Amino acid sequence: MALIGNRVPLPAERLAHRVFEEHARTHPERLALTCGEERLTYGELNARANRLAHHLTAQGITRGAIVGVCVDRSPELVSSILAVLKAGATYVPLDPTYPAERLRLMLSQLPQMTAVLAANDTLSLVEGCHGAIVDVNDPELRLESRPATDPEVEIGPDDLCYVVFTSGSTGTPKATAVRHEGWYNLLNWLRLEYELDHESSNMLLSSFGFDISQRSIMAPLFVGAALHLLPSRSFDISLAYRLIGELGVRTLHCAPSTLYLLVDREMDRGTDVLTGLHYVFIGGEPMSAARVADWATREGNGCVLLHQYGVAECTDVASSHRMVDYPGYANSRMPAGPPVYNTEIRILDDTLEEVATGEVGEICISGMSVGAGYLNADPERQSTFVTTERDGRPVRFYRTGDQGYATPSGELVVVGRVDHQVKVRGMRIDLGDVEHAVRRHKKVRDVVVLPVSDGEQDARLVAVVIAAAEPVDERSLRQDLLETLPRNMVPQEFVEVSAFPLNPNGKIDRKALAESVRSGAVAQEGRAR
């Protein structure tokens, strides 16, 4: 089955930063960026980025260069990204909140890196990197003497705009390259599909290293709106919630776990700050509609939630579903929507043949959003990018490793990972199926199901749950699940927690949760509660 997004023509020059430059020319006085007490207009931000870009080109950083950016949330972060793009180079987000060992591992994957842009308080994090280190705060750069005009650098739609690291099954992060054309297509789709304009301000919530953060930064600048940065290195839920209201933020791009924190804050306080949002674009991990249903269906709440699916290898977003049917989500899997513009989603079997509507297969993405692949990767890793003939023409697509099916109405439904299966009592089961069944229970708000192995024995299933209201009765929950699940798929153990640990990207940290289960720390918390 193939799901085909709308064919929307794009201009010959498909460069997101050039759209930003046009806003700076036509509305230089318009607010572009805030961070704490700092305010920059489009004219000021563009001039600052231009001066740094001219400095970079003078240092030999031009088209095709790979440049790391390791800067905290600040105006310098945004001007550095724009400067790298204006120089014709490709930026690599290096998040200062990541552990030092993780940053070193990421830097080691890109020996061709020409330079790394850092600031006073992040210089030590990139010591020993490939290429030169540029301190963007260094007065010796004399950036004020550089031209404030837009650099004239020839760049094509197939050139790379950014490289983001994704986790690898071997523990080694993969450097995933995104093309200008795909990024422009995504941002243009957001602008047209949701009618975003200069009033569609956005706040960056997620880690800079997360792929969702790249569109969170550029989307408002692409439509002439303001980008708001939290003036802190780590995510502060109290600060974020307060500033969303004070600054009149209208859009958010975040993982479900971050949205849950914001919604819980609003429901606990009985306030209505979030109802002033126009859109929340949600992606990065499975979404629990039950966690937000009471808030989303409150009278007077005009905020639209978009449940999105995508992968970094295909420019972050492949499909999008407007959440409206909350009673329906309680009884079936929530759709991830139809494809974005100029994108095709195929559901294929093991022989790469399309399956019928409603039949589960591997989700494969083709079209303009497919990236350039992994940098410096071995052939085995690159094998997930496949070119085959479809309808008499060669089609390049990416095998996501995710399972899903297409509905008769033309929406994608994601089931789980192809490799997200474990052997329990001699049978292979999918953890996503178990989580879906547990999450549907009226006494459960959310759940993570983990396989916990005891030596050479098959893994046992542990369900770490957040209760809907009163504490979960393990016996009655297990009995209820036996009515919908085979016995071998019912978790052997249930542990209740107040919240799941999050990684720097704002997603559930399954690894940390699994370690807590193995050590007994989670069980102790459950008993304490």
> Domain holding 200: CATH number?
3.40.50.12780
For residue 438, tell me if it sits in a domain: yes
Whole-angstrom distance between the N-terminal and C-terminal Cα of the chain? 47
pLDDT of amino acid 377: 86
441 close to 473: Cβ distance less than 8 angstroms: no
For residue 372, tell me if it sits in a domain: no
For residue 172, tell me if it sits in a domain: yes
The whole-model pTM stands at 0.84
Give yes or no: residues 316 and 429 share one domain.
no
Give yes or no: residues 325 and 430 share one domain.
no
**Strand 304-309 relative to strand 227-229: parallel, antiparallel, unpaired?**
unpaired
Give yes or no: residues 37 and 170 share one domain.
yes
The count of other CB atoms within 10 Å of the CB of residue 171 is 7
Strand (E) or helix (H) holding 513 = helix 510-519
Copy the structure tokens of residue 110: 């890109």
For residue 338, tell me if it sits in a domain: no
Task: Find the domain containing 482 and state its range.
Answer: 421-528
45 close to 78: Cβ distance less than 8 angstroms: yes
153 close to 63: Cβ distance less than 8 angstroms: yes
Q: Which amino acid is at 147?
A: P
Q: Could you say which of 329, 346, 364 is where a domain stops? A: 329
Give yes or no: residues 131 and 255 share one domain.
yes
* Selection from 303, 300, 372, 367 nearest residue 340 by Cα: 367
Give yes or no: residues 320 and 430 share one domain.
no
Q: Could you say which of 298, 314, 329 is where a domain stops? A: 329
For the stretch 355-394, what's the b/e string if a residue is b when 16 or more beta carbons lie within 10 angstroms of its beta carbon? beeeebbbbbbbbbbbbbbbbebeeebeebbeeeeeeeee
For residue 385, tell me if it sits in a domain: no
Strand (E) or helix (H) holding 274 = none
Give yes or no: residues 325 and 433 share one domain.
no
Among all chains, which residue has been given the structure tokens 């997360």? 210
Give yes or no: residues 291 and 431 share one domain.
no
Which CATH number covers residue 524? 3.30.300.30
Q: How far apart are CA 82 and CA 76, in angstroms?
A: 10
Tens-level pLDDT at each residue, the chain (529 residues): 799 999 999 999 999 999 999 999 999 999 999 999 999 999 999 999 999 999 999 999 999 999 999 999 999 999 999 999 999 999 999 999 888 888 988 899 999 999 999 999 999 999 888 889 999 999 999 999 999 999 999 999 999 999 999 865 555 788 999 999 999 999 999 999 999 999 999 999 988 998 999 999 999 999 999 999 999 888 899 999 999 999 999 999 999 989 999 999 999 999 999 999 999 999 988 888 989 999 999 999 999 999 999 999 999 999 999 999 999 998 888 999 999 999 999 999 999 999 999 999 999 999 999 999 999 988 888 999 999 888 888 999 999 999 999 999 999 999 887 766 665 655 567 787 788 888 888 889 889 998 876 554 556 789 999 998 788 888 889 888 888 777 778 898 899 998 898 876 677 888 888 888 877 776 555 543 4
For residue 76, tell me if it sits in a domain: yes
3-state secondary structure of 251: strand
For residue 273, tell me if it sits in a domain: yes
3-state SS string for 166-220: ECCCCCCCEEEEEEHHHHHHHHHHHHHHCCCCCCCCEEECCCCCCHHHHHHHHHH
**Strand 361-367 relative to strand 393-406: parallel, antiparallel, unpaired?**
antiparallel
pLDDT of amino acid 458: 58
314 close to 371: Cβ distance less than 8 angstroms: yes
Give yes or no: residues 189 and 313 share one domain.
yes
Q: Could you say which of 293, 311, 329 is where a domain stops? A: 329
For residue 383, tell me if it sits in a domain: no
Q: How many domains does the chain have?
A: 2
DSSP structural state of residue 72: -
